[in-house]
């Protein structure tokens, strides 16, 4: 148990369960919560499914934004709160975003939110419907009022993930250019902004390559700053005879130039294998979107979407994961 986290938060009440005796660290560097899934599909009055959702520590407890598809299969974002990060109360209705500019276009839909604290507020970034999927952004101070900002990137783009601080004087994000449909390609890119409105200085980060990450890849939770580089969890997709299979793995990228990859692990960390991951509205999906990390113990808890239906949790230690990424570097 070690501590490589820089600039992280103390999260003494991070959701946690020790590695069970049945879990071999040589085979799996992170282990699943025994009571997965933690968020059932019908937790809110109108939800068909709750998955690919984002949480942060908030006032000694936890808050989050949740992808809730309703029973018309409309995709939207609902706010929620929890004392322990496991038992959640999620609003029945989607967030009503307040436009920071009346000219801002309406969103046709919103999905796969990420949330991160930067400087003095929480920023939310999601896949936003505006003549096709693009990136949408908002901020909140209290998880009650949410202020929608300009869309950082035009269609087609998904999987926008903000860094928790400026890098080289600019705000920074990973994202994935895509197409209008169920994109059969996808690289992770890095872009920079002086003001969170105008984005540029684009740099290529990683392409898909082999095995579980051979079709497309996209960033997951917001990167975690460690002494060994940014620890980046990302999803990877392979195309089987029955369609896409979504697993997730990890890489380390350079602290000052995060488009440079230091190490990228060849094996996945989690792949669809439990019943709630292989069956659901979209079978064979494990999709990470949020991580809680405690800088005092080095514990990490990742929230991930299970088969586009429910939300699960996996646990691990940052130092073990960093060492594993380096040891399994491709």
Residues that bind ligand BMA (CB under 6 A): 52, 111-112, 182, 246, 282, 285, 287, 305, 308
Nearer to ligand BMA, 80 or 220 (CB): 220
**Vertex 194 angle, CA 235 and 250, to 5°:** 20
**Three-state secondary-structure class, residue 325:** helix
Nearer to ligand BMA, 258 or 305 (CB): 305
Nearer to ligand BMA, 111 or 234 (CB): 111
Do 140 and 124 touch, CB atoms closer than 8 A?
Answer: yes
CB of 288 to ligand BMA, least distance (A): 10
Q: Where are the alpha helices (DSSP H) in the chain?
A: 275-278, 318-327
DSSP-assigned letters across all residues of 243-294: EEEEEEEEEEE-SS-TTSEEEEBSS-SB-S-SHHHHSSSSSSBEEEEEEEE-
CB of 252 to ligand BMA, least distance (A): 25
CB of 121 to ligand BMA, least distance (A): 25
CB of 308 to ligand BMA, least distance (A): 5
Nearer to ligand BMA, 259 or 287 (CB): 287
Nearer to ligand BMA, 41 or 299 (CB): 41
Strands 146-148 and 98-99: parallel
Strand partners, 213: none
CB of 241 to ligand BMA, least distance (A): 17
CB of 61 to ligand BMA, least distance (A): 27
If residue 237 lies in a helix (H) or strand (E), which one and from where to where?
Answer: strand 229-240
Tokens of 13: 């009440």
Indicate the DSSP class of residue 40.
Answer: -
Q: Minimal CB distance to ligand BMA: which residue?
A: 282
Nearer to ligand BMA, 139 or 246 (CB): 246
DSSP-assigned letters across all residues of 182-223: S-S---EEEEEESSSSS-EEEEEEE---SGGGSSEEEE-SPP
């Amino acid at each position: 148990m070690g501590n490589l986290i820089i600039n992280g938060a103390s999260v003494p009440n991070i959701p946690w369960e020790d590695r069970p005796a049945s879990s071999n660290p040589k085979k799996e560097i992170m282990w699943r919560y025994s009571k997965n899934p933690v968020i059932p599909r019908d937790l809110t009055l109108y939800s068909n499914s709750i998955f690919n959702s984002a949480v942060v520590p908030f006032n000694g407890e936890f808050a989050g934004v949740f992808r809730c598809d309703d029973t018309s299969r409309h995709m939207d974002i609902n706010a929620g709160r929890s004392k322990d990060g496991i038992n959640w109360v999620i609003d029945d209705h989607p967030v009503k975003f307040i436009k920071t500019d009346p000219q801002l276009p309406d969103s046709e839909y919103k999905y796969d939110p990420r949330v991160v604290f930067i400087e003095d507020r929480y920023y939310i970034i999601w896949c936003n419907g505006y003549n096709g999927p693009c990136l949408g952004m908002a901020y909140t101070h209290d998880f009650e009022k949410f202020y929608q900002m300009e869309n950082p990137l035009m269609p087609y783009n998904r999987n926008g993930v903000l860094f928790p601080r400026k890098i080289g004087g600019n705000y920074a994000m990973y994202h994935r250019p895509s197409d209008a449909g169920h994109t059969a390609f996808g690289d992770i890119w890095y872009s920079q902004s002086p003001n969170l409105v105008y984005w540029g200085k684009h740099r290529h980060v990683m392409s898909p390559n082999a095995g579980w990450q051979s079709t497309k890849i996209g960033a997951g939770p917001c990167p975690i700053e460690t002494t060994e580089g940014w620890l980046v969890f990302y999803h990877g997709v392979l195309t089987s005879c029955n369609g896409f299979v979504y697993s997730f793995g990890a890489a380390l990228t350079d602290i000052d130039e995060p488009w440079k990859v230091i190490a990228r692990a060849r094996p996945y960390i989690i792949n669809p294998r439990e019943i709630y991951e292989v069956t659901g509205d979209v079978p064979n999906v494990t999709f990470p979107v949020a991580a809680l990390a405690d800088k005092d113990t080095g514990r990490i808890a990742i929230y991930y979407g299970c088969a586009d239906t429910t939300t699960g949790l996996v646990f691990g230690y940052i130092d073990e994961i960093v060492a594993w990424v380096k040891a399994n570097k491709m």
